[in-house]
Structure 1
Amino acid sequence: MSIDEISKRKGHKDFVTVVCDIEQGNLVEVIDSHKQDKIIEVLEQQPLEIRERVKEVSIDMWGGFPKVIEKVFPNAVVVIDRFHVMKAVNSNLNTIRKQSGIKVKNNKFILLKNGIDLSAEENEKLELILKQSDRLRTAYELKESFRAIYESELTVEDRKKKIELWMDKARKVYCKAITTISNHIEGICNYFLSRTTSGVMEGVNNKSKLIKRRAYGFVNFDNFRMRLLA
C-alpha cells in the first residue's frame, strides 16, 4: 500500500489523504482530512482480516503516517519512499549550489541529475562546475555515493551500516538531510526488503491533479472523492 496527501484546490493547504494499492495500481480511498485520528477512523472501517494482509506501506516522511500504519495495518512495516529520501539530499545540494554562485548554464540540472546518466558533454560541464568550488565538489560526490547505496546489492543490514557511515562522513555538508535521514533510518532501510516505492501513487496523484484542473477545483469533498475513485 501507499499513503499520501494532495490538496483539494490548487494553492490551498486544504489536504486530503489518498490510499493506494500499489500491486493493483488502484486508488482505494480518499479521506477528507490530514489528521491521524480521522485517517485511522476511516481506514479501520475495513475488516481487520483485510488490513492484516498488508505487509508494507510506502510513504513520504510526514510525521503522522507511521502512527497511522502502526494502528491500522498491524503486520505492515513502514517504507520511506526512495524518491523522497533523494529529494532531501538533492535539496541540500541545491542550497550549496546556490551558495557557491556557479554561473555555468544548466548547472542545477547537471548537478542534480544521476551521474550515471550524464552524457559526455554533460560530464565536461560537470567538471567545469566542480572546479569552481571544493565544497560543491564534496557535496556532489557525497550525493552520488549516497545514491550508489540504493543501487548496491548488499543485505539490508549492510546497507544500513553504509548509510550510517555516509551520515558520519557527510554531517558537515548535509546537516538538514542528515537529520531527516537519521529520524527515518528504519523506514528508509525497509525499502531494501523488496524495493517498494510510491511510484504508482505518484501516477495516481498526477491523474488526480488533472481531474482537479478540468473541474477548476472542488468545493464539495464528496464530489471530489467520487470523481477520483471513478
Structure 2
Amino acid sequence: MTKQAVDRGVACKQQENIHYLDFDEKSSKKVHTYLNLVYNLEKGTIEHIPNDRKTDSLQAYFDCISEEKRSFIKALAMDMWGPYIKATADTIGSDKIVIDLFHVMKHKVVVSL
C-alpha cells in the first residue's frame, strides 16, 4: 500500500508544471551531516533529494523531467556551487539561474578580505 501511495505521488509530481525551484542544503551541526534538497518554491514542497552535490546527481533529477515540463521553469535559486550551476546551465539554461543574495554577499565579503 505504501509503494502505491508513493507511486501515485511521484506520478502527480511529474504532471505538475513547476515554475520556481530552489537548490539548497540543510545541515545538522550536531553530527555535521548535510542533506541536499530541491524545493518547489511555489508549493513549499521538496521535489527531489540528490545523493550528493555533484553535477550528475542534479542532472539525474533534470533528466526525469520531460523537456516540455522543463520549459515551464522560470527561475532556479541556488548558491554559487559550480556543479549546481553547470547542471542547470547545461539543461535548463544559465539565464534562469538566480544566485541567492546570502551567498553573493558572503562571497563578496570573502573576496574583499
- TM-score > 0.5 by shorter chain: yes
* From 62, 68, 91, the counterpart of 1:43: 62
Name 2:37's counterpart in structure 1. Answer: 18
* Counterpart residue number, 1:217: none
What is the CA–CA distance in structure 1 between the aligned matches of 2:30 and 2:67, rounded to whole Å? 35
In the alignment, structure 2 segments of 5+ residues that lack a partner are 1-20
Identity level (%): 28
- Rounded to whole Å, the distance in 2 between the matches of 1:63 and 1:55 is 20
**1:61 is aligned to 2:61:** no
Compare relative contact order (CA 8 Å, sep 6+) and give the higher one, 1 or 2.
1
Residue 111 (structure 2) aligned to one of 169, 177, 191: 177
In structure 1, the partner of 2:24 is 4
Please show how residues 142-157 of structure 1 align to structure 2 within 5 Å: none
The one-character-per-residue Cα deviations of 1:54-98 (angstroms, maximum 9, x if unpaired) are: 111111111211111113324852111112222344xx4xxxxxx
Which residue of 48, 60, 81 corresponds with 1:29? 48
Greater fraction helix = 1
Secondary structure of the residue aligned to 2:111 is: helix
Q: Which amino acid letter does the alignment assign opposite residue 4 of structure 1?
A: D
CA distance in 2 between partners of 1:43 and 1:16 (Å)? 18
Question: Hey, what's the Cα distance between the residues in 2 that align with 1:34 and 1:6?
Answer: 12
Scaled by the length of structure 2, the TM-score of the pair is 0.65
- More strand per residue: 1 or 2? 2
RMSD of equivalent CA atoms: 2.6
Q: Distance in 2 between matches of 1:15 and 1:61?
A: 17
Q: Which has the larger radius of gyration?
A: 1
Closer/same/farther in 2, CA of residues 76 and 29 from structure 1, 3 Å limit: farther
Give the distance between the partners of 2:112 and 2:63, measured in 1 at CA.
34
* CA distances 1:142-179 after superposition (whole Å, capped 9, x unpaired): xxxxxxxxxxxxxxxxxxxxxxxxxxxxxxxxxx4359
1:43 is matched by which residue type in structure 2? F
TM-score (norm 1): 0.35
Amino acid at match of 2:72: R
Among candidates 92, 95, 101, match of residue 73 of structure 1 = 92
Contact 1:18 1:27 in 2 (8 A): yes
Work out whether residues 85 and 94 of structure 2, in 8 Å CA contact, stay in contact via their aligned partners in 1.
no
8 Å Cα contact 2:27/2:34 also seen in 1: yes
Structure 1 residue 7, shift from structure 2 partner: 4.5
Aligned pairs, how many?
93
